[in-house]
Structure 1
Amino acid sequence: MSQTPVLQITGLTGGYSLNKPVLHDISLQVQPGEMVGLIGLNGAGKSTTMKHILGLMTPHKGGIAVQGRTRDKDSEGYHSALSFVPESPLLYEEMTVREHVEFTSRAYGVNRADYEARSRRLSELFRMEDKMDSLSGHLSKGMKQKVMIMCAFVASPALYVIDEPFLGLDPLGIRSLLDFMLEIKKSGSSILLSSHILSTIENYCDRFIVLHQGRVIAEGTLAEIGAAAGKPGLPLEQLFYELVQGGK
């Protein structure tokens, strides 16, 4: 397995205003075949970090590389190596579910046979077989979120950036997504996952990065986070509370 990180963020400072950055000198890595949980309170900088990774925001300082590529030197290679699931679904109301998934697969250069196999598998996994020819404007919020997830996973990039994907999903949808992410991880792809549902992601992520007020205050395995909080053996939710409320 390659030792080059799939995602490398080095000294990232950025935000919406040069005079008031949201992120302060953030450095982190995601390795091949690794699922990393990005956790923090509202306003901690999770979504801002993801926007910088996606190229929606320009860093004030620092750098971001995906598979060793940067947006400045290889924009096409950089963006083709990642896929994104946003917190809120954004779809074309006059396109069907099938059209969304096919459009995305074409954008990523997925061949027809792979598209058909992946589309079929995803529609079955998320119980969307009977909705594939429905217009997205007629779907519930949870179903729209499933479409966003299907679009992200019909491609097969090195890195998936996933922001609060469980909102609006029913319990079966959440379980299907978690199981499929484990499959993706075993295939060698990497996942950066942001979620407030810490009890759900605790047993799925390999490592965690705790953001607080735009800074990384702890990172590592559950055991390493426990050591950083001075409370070894506690579940992730309690450790997070100790870190952000306990003055650590």
Structure 2
Amino acid sequence: MGGYSQVPVLKDVSFSVNDGELVGLIGLNGAGKSTTINHIIGLLSPFKGRIAINGVSITDDSEKYKSQIAYIPETPILYDELTLKEHLELTITAYGLDKEKAWEKANHLLEIFRLDNKLEWFPANFSKGMKQKVMITCAFMTEAKLFIIDEPFYGLDPIAVHDLLMEIENVKNNGAAVLMSTHVLDTAEKYCDKFVLLANGQVKANGTLDELRALNDGKDQTLDDIYLSLAKDTDNG
């Protein structure tokens, strides 16, 4: 249970994201997605309950907990006075990464996202999509155990969306867990292994697409169909 001040927004929210798994966090505006993410990354503290990554909670060991997370926010957050190269150097320092390996990863990502000739650029020179690509590069050059990606597709061109999905697949194959919040349900349906459907701060359904269909009595329903049905039931109930 958690929220802002003493007002509970989340009510007994419980789910897990396993290694090598992409879980889609699905919900309408106000469903509790951002509040859930803010609790996981440590910006909010739960009123009760426990959040753990590989058995470690933020109260057990804050540094160890946070070092396992790479977070890509919905709105890119960059430092105006730092170049792209300096953002990457800051990431290496913050995560205590091996410089040679980290730059090898970074250069690979910079090439994929067509940023390799912009290392000396400042954020003021970047479009929203380019800023998003900088955030993606900084996240995926780490060795995080849990990647949290909030509404990643807005501002990205179709090629960049494809490249991001391929990088998600790569970190999954290397054993990382990925939690992705999105409104783009057709893409989520295609790429996510499991789903957590939130409405009014509660988990209304949790599982694979087939498991959600079984709960909703519809063999051929899309993720969009299932969520709309659950959301309507919640509004009526």
Q: Which bin holds the TM-score, normalised by the shorter protein?
A: over 0.9
Match of residue 36, structure 1, among 11, 16, 23: 23
Taking the TM superposition and a 5 Å limit, the aligned residue runs for 1:1-248 are 13-18=1-6, 20-247=7-234
Indicate conservation of the 8 Å contact 1:207/1:222, yes or no: yes
SS in 1 for 2:165: helix
Runs of 4+ in 1 over 6 A off after TM superposition: none
The alignment-based identity, stated in percent, is 46
TM-score (norm 2): 0.96
Structure 1: state its 5+ residue gaps.
Answer: 1-12
CA distance in 2: counterparts of 1:131 and 1:233, whole angstroms: 46
Indicate conservation of the 8 Å contact 1:44/1:213, yes or no: yes
TM-score (norm 1): 0.92
Indicate conservation of the 8 Å contact 1:145/1:169, yes or no: yes
Which amino acid letter does the alignment assign opposite residue 238 of structure 1? D
Which amino acid letter does the alignment assign opposite residue 92 of structure 2? S
CA distance in 1: counterparts of 2:63 and 2:119, whole angstroms: 30
Q: CA deviation at 1:246?
A: 4.0
SS in 1 for 2:187: helix
Which amino acid letter does the alignment assign opposite residue 139 of structure 1? F
Structure 2: state its 5+ residue gaps.
Answer: none
Which amino acid letter does the alignment assign opposite residue 55 of structure 1? G
CA distance in 2: counterparts of 1:229 and 1:45, whole angstroms: 22
CA distance in 1: counterparts of 2:158 and 2:82, whole angstroms: 27
Indicate conservation of the 8 Å contact 1:102/1:115, yes or no: no
Residues paired across the two proteins, number: 235
Indicate conservation of the 8 Å contact 1:94/1:137, yes or no: no
CA distance in 1: counterparts of 2:21 and 2:199, whole angstroms: 22
Q: CA deviation at 1:17?
A: 2.9
CA distance in 1: counterparts of 2:190 and 2:12, whole angstroms: 29
SS in 2 for 1:145: helix
Q: CA deviation at 1:229?
A: 1.8
SS in 1 for 2:29: coil
CA distance in 1: counterparts of 2:118 and 2:212, whole angstroms: 42
CA distance in 1: counterparts of 2:23 and 2:40, whole angstroms: 15
CA distance in 1: counterparts of 2:143 and 2:153, whole angstroms: 21
Which amino acid letter does the alignment assign opposite residue 59 of structure 1? P
Tell me which of the two structures has the higher relative contact order, counting C-alpha pairs closer than 8 angstroms and 6 or more residues apart: 2
CA distance in 2: counterparts of 1:118 and 1:201, whole angstroms: 26
Q: CA RMSD in A?
A: 1.1
CA distance in 1: counterparts of 2:233 and 2:11, whole angstroms: 21
CA distance in 2: counterparts of 1:116 and 1:178, whole angstroms: 21
